[in-house]
């Protein structure tokens, strides 16, 4: 699983950070810290472009953490179902998430 601070099993490591949102591996950040950082950045982007369509590229964990901020159903189980890559369209009215659509086609 995880030995001497080295991640030997990616799935086990991801499960660990999703099961314990304030846990961080040495040299890393917790899911909670990552979510706070991502949401702060997302809010700045939305404020800077109030009437624009915005495209944000990120890795799946940050994407789901941002989505979870607005919808608790976006959790580890949701993350596990992502295809890699995956693309979601989120629609906001001010800072309220009004629509989520998966737009990736395999």
Q: At what angle do helices 60-70 and 31-48 cross, to 10 degrees?
A: 80
Band the pLDDT of 92: cuts 50, 70, 90: confident
Q: Are 44 and 58 in contact (CB under 8 A)?
A: no
If you average pLDDT over every residue of the chain, what do you get? Answer: 90
pLDDT tens, 55-73? 999 999 999 999 999 999 9
pTM attached to this predicted model: 0.86
Nearest of 18, 4, 5, 28 to residue 77 by alpha carbon:
18
């Amino acid at each position: 699983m995880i030995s001497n601070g080295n991640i030997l099993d990616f799935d086990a490591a991801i499960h660990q950070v999703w099961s314990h949102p304030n846990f961080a591996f040495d040299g890393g950040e917790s899911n909670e810290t990552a979510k706070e950082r991502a949401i702060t950045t997302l809010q700045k982007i939305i404020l800077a472009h109030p009437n624009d369509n915005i495209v944000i590229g990120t890795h799946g964990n940050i994407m789901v953490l941002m989505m979870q901020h607005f919808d608790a159903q976006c959790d580890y189980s949701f993350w596990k179902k992502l295809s890699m890559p995956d693309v979601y369209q989120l629609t906001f009215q001010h800072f309220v998430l009004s629509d989520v659509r998966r737009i990736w086609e395999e």
